[in-house]
Amino acid sequence: MDFLPLFHRVTDQHALIVGAGPIAARKAQLLLEAGANVTLVAPEISRAVRGIAEQHAESVTVITDIYTSEYLAGHQLIVAATDQRAVNEQVALDARALHLPVNVVNDPDLGTFIFPAVIDRSPVVAAVSSSGAAPVLTRLLRGKLESLIPASYGMLAELVGRYRQTVKDRLPEAARRRFWEQVLSGVIADRAMTGQMQTAERLLNEELDAYAQNATSKGEVYLVGAGPGDPDLLTFKALRLMQQADIVLYDRLVSPAILALVRRDAEMIYVGKRRSEHAVPQDNINELLVQHALAGKRVCRLKGGDPFIFGRGGEEIDRLADEGIEFQVVPGITAASGCAAYSGIPLTHRDYSQSVRFITAHLKDGSANLPWEELVQTNQTVVFYMGLTGLSEICAQLQAHGRSPETPIALIEKGTTPQHRVFAGTLRTMVDLVTQQDVSAPTLIIVGEVVQLHHRLNWFKDVVEA
């Protein structure tokens, strides 16, 4: 992130704009709309600037002169908007020397802040920026946002502002969030946005009374499958619950891109696990879910893949059921499905495989005593989860129990993410291939004739062959 978005109060502050052309006029208009007093300095003054000065005579000062650093005195915000780079550079240097915020139009690297495209629904204000890299794209995005955000949102925000302290005094934090979500997504918001303020306030007070009587109710747990890594594979329901949770307990396999979609003010608790290394033991995770739900919180248990496929989700909701805690389960795209699809490997195919087996490569007691005789059947795809460290054992045991050494096998690393890699070979060659590469978890192993289809069907990333 090249620029941190901030909303800066400029009411009654003094802004200096060096330049007086059309661009300077646009910046002056924006600052005036935010309540600033504006001084423009330039040897020549455009018609647009003169028009603004006449319209805002009490707030605009125009000085016909060549810029010098003395003009910075008494100003809290500086804009360099000339068509001469040398002048703009000097303004930026002078302003930075005095620790004044400075914007250099069309040259963001010289300044300390930029002007975003603004969508004004006061008191609701939205802004979008490309960090100065693509102004046309920024304007297109602003146009889309303008069409998505009704002008009447300002009236709704004013209603919320009037009742914010009242709600804070009457409801605990967790209940407040639920209350406002109910208000802002239902009939109360509809009435406010159509100007029926008396009706909206009556309904809001009735809703507040109801919430105040039930403010100590139990919370709820959302057991959410985050999928294999690509945030675009989240379900709509998963995203909705992630954005309304008060607390999120997340695993190591949940990608940073998915975590970025969680509500920003939610409490984040890492409970990830590696092989033989648990950040938080499973029993402790279960108790954390119970503890926070009993405190009235909405808790999102965010798991990579699907929570019911090697995710221990069943153990967690079993504990919740013991306590009578409400919960929801949101399926996710399991790693086998997501990684195979992104690698061009159908898990089943009429010509090659009529069944598929999902196997965890290490069991609860740490062993790998798998039913090998059942896993060497022809016309069957076998998918091993968490099998990187056991790859040589998997290849050896399958061959020892009758699978041909030439059976196709693929190892998929960090599937569906930008780091997605596929290593394809046979049971005979795969161990040597992976040994020569810098491969790290998470990985998935697919064994079966369907693997050979990746040659024609792979669409996402190149495949490393053996």
Per-residue pLDDT of the chain (466 residues; tens, 9 = 90+): 788 888 999 999 999 999 999 999 999 999 999 999 999 999 999 999 999 999 999 999 999 999 999 999 999 999 999 999 999 999 999 999 999 999 999 888 899 999 988 888 888 888 998 888 888 898 899 888 888 888 888 899 999 999 999 999 999 877 888 889 889 888 899 889 888 999 999 999 999 998 888 766 678 999 999 999 999 999 999 998 999 899 999 999 999 999 999 988 899 999 987 655 556 889 999 999 999 999 888 999 999 999 999 989 999 999 999 999 999 999 999 999 999 999 999 999 999 999 999 998 764 444 567 999 999 998 999 999 988 989 999 999 999 999 999 999 999 999 999 999 999 999 999 999 999 999 998 999 999 999 999 989 998 866 666 5
* pLDDT score of 422: 94
Unique residue bearing structure tokens 């161990």:
431
Q: Is 230 annotated as a binding residue?
A: no
* pLDDT score of 250: 96
Q: Is 22 annotated as a binding residue?
A: yes
Cα–Cα distance measured from residue 443 to residue 228, given in angstroms and rounded to the nearest whole number: 10
What is the maximal distance between C-alpha atoms in the chain? 91
* pLDDT score of 120: 87
Q: Is 304 annotated as a binding residue?
A: yes
12 in active site? no
Q: Is 386 annotated as a binding residue?
A: yes
Q: What share of the chain in percent tops pLDDT 70?
A: 95
* pLDDT score of 275: 59
Contact by Cβ (8 Å): 380, 355: yes
Domain 14-115, what fold? Rossmann fold (3.40.50)
Backbone angles phi, psi at 77, to 5 degrees: -150, 135
SS3 label, residue 301: strand
* pLDDT score of 463: 60
Burial state string for 68-90 with b = 16 or more CB within 10 A and e = fewer than 16: eeebbeebebbbbbbeeeebbeb
Catalytic-labelled residue, pool 107, 120, 218, 273: 273
Cα–Cα distance measured from residue 358 to residue 449, given in angstroms and rounded to the nearest whole number: 16
Could you tell me which of 440, 418, 437, 441 has the C-alpha nearest to residue 429?
A: 437
The H or E element containing residue 465 is strand 463-465
Domain 220-333, what fold? Cobalt-precorrin-4 Transmethylase; domain 1 (3.40.1010)
**Bridge partners for 267 per DSSP:** 247
251 in active site? yes
Q: Is 228 annotated as a binding residue?
A: yes
Q: Is 43 annotated as a binding residue?
A: yes
Q: Is 92 annotated as a binding residue?
A: no
* pLDDT score of 201: 94
Q: Is 305 annotated as a binding residue?
A: yes
Hey, where are the domains in the chain?
Answer: 14-115, 153-213, 220-333, 336-465
Give how far Cα 251 sits from Cα of 113, 268, 312, 370, 440, Å. Answer: 37, 11, 12, 26, 17
Catalytic-labelled residue, pool 251, 297, 414, 461: 251
* pLDDT score of 217: 63
Q: Is 306 annotated as a binding residue?
A: yes
Q: What is the CATH number of domain 336-465?
A: 3.30.950.10
Number of helices (H) and strands (E) in the chain: give both, helices first. 17, 20
Angle at 380 between CA 420 and CA 466, to 5 degrees: 45
DSSP H helices, 233-281, are 236-242, 256-259
Beta strands (DSSP E) in 355-431 are: 355-360, 380-385, 408-413, 421-426
Q: Could you tell me the two tokens for 273?
A: 């696990």
End-to-end CA distance of the chain: 40
167's CB contacts (< 8 A; 6+ apart) are 176, 179, 180, 208
Contact by Cβ (8 Å): 154, 123: yes
